[in-house]
Structure 1
Amino acid sequence: MFTLAPATVEDFDRLLQLRLRCMRESLERIGRFDEWRAYDRFRNSYRPHYTRLIMAPQGSLAGCVAMGPVDAHLLLEHFYIAPEQQGKGLGSAVLHQLLGEADTARLPIRLSVLQQSDAGRFYARHGFVQTAEDEWDVYYERLPGALHVLHEQEGIA
C-alpha cells in the first residue's frame, strides 16, 4: 500500500509545496494562511534525518511524516497526505506503523494540530488524548500501548 523512504535536505521544496497544499484550507479557516510564514515555520522545523517520504505503490510521493526524539518522548510533526490520497486509509496505515515503532521504543508520542482542524478527531481515534491548547494549536499525547488498550476497551482484537 505504501513504503516509507528517508527524506533528504533536497526534498525540502517539494515537501513545502505538499505542506501548503494540505494546510492551506485549515489555515485560511482560522485566518492564518501566509505563504511566507508557512515557509519560515517549515524551514525552522524541517529535520530531514527524522522525516520520511510516504511513497505510493507506483513510486509517486503520497505524503510525508516526521517523528523523532525530543527529551523523553517522540515528536510527530509534518504528517501530510497529498489531498488526492486522502480518505483512502493511507494516513491510518502510516500512523499504525509509527505507533508500533513508538510502542517498541516504549516512548509516548506528542503532537499538535491547528485549532478547528479535522486532524484532532483522527488522532483521538488512534488513542491520542488532548493535553492542552492555545490560541492556534491543540496538543495531544499518546502513551505507549494506548492503541492496544483502546482496542481492548472497544472489543477489537
Structure 2
Amino acid sequence: MTNEHALEISLWIDRKENPYIENNPYEFQLLIRGSRNGFNVNSIFNICDKVSKTIIILKVKDTGEILGGYNPLEWENNDDQWKETKDSFIFSLKTANMKNSILSTSPNGSVHNYPNQLELRFGHALCLIGNLKTEKRCCCMKSGEYPRLIHSNEFVYPNLYTPSIIFS
C-alpha cells in the first residue's frame, strides 16, 4: 500500500470531497500481516479482538489487484454476529493495471463477524473465509449492501452466492 493509497482511504473514512495531499490525519498501524501472523481468519479475530476502525487490505494473487474493507466497529473473537453500520465500506485501490480506485458504500452496509465459522464479511460483497492462502474460499460477490462492484466486470456473476473472485 502506498502513501497515496493511505491518503485516499483517509479521505473515504472522513467522507471528504477534497483529497488529502500530504498531511494524513490518521496514523495507520500494521496489526497483522499474513506472512508474519498466518493467513487464517482466526488470526485476524484473535489479534484484532475488541479493535475498532480497522482496514483490511488483500492482494489478489496473479492480478496485482488490491481489495479491502473498512470496519468502524470492533471485531469480536468470541461471538458470531451481524452488525449494521453506515460507515463501513469496501474498495479496490488504483494500481498499475487499474486507472482509478473504486469505493462502494451503503447506508445499510453490514459487517459479519463470525469467528466460530472462521468468516469475516462485508455484507456479501467481500468475504474472507478460513485460511486465506490455502483454502481458496474467499470471494467477492454481487451484493445489495455494497452496490458498487469493487472488481472488474469480467468477474461478475448474476447469482448472489456464486463467487466472482477467489483469492489464493
Structure with larger RCO (C-alpha < 8 A, sep 6+): 1
Structure with greater helix percent: 1
Give the TM-score, by structure 2 length: 0.28
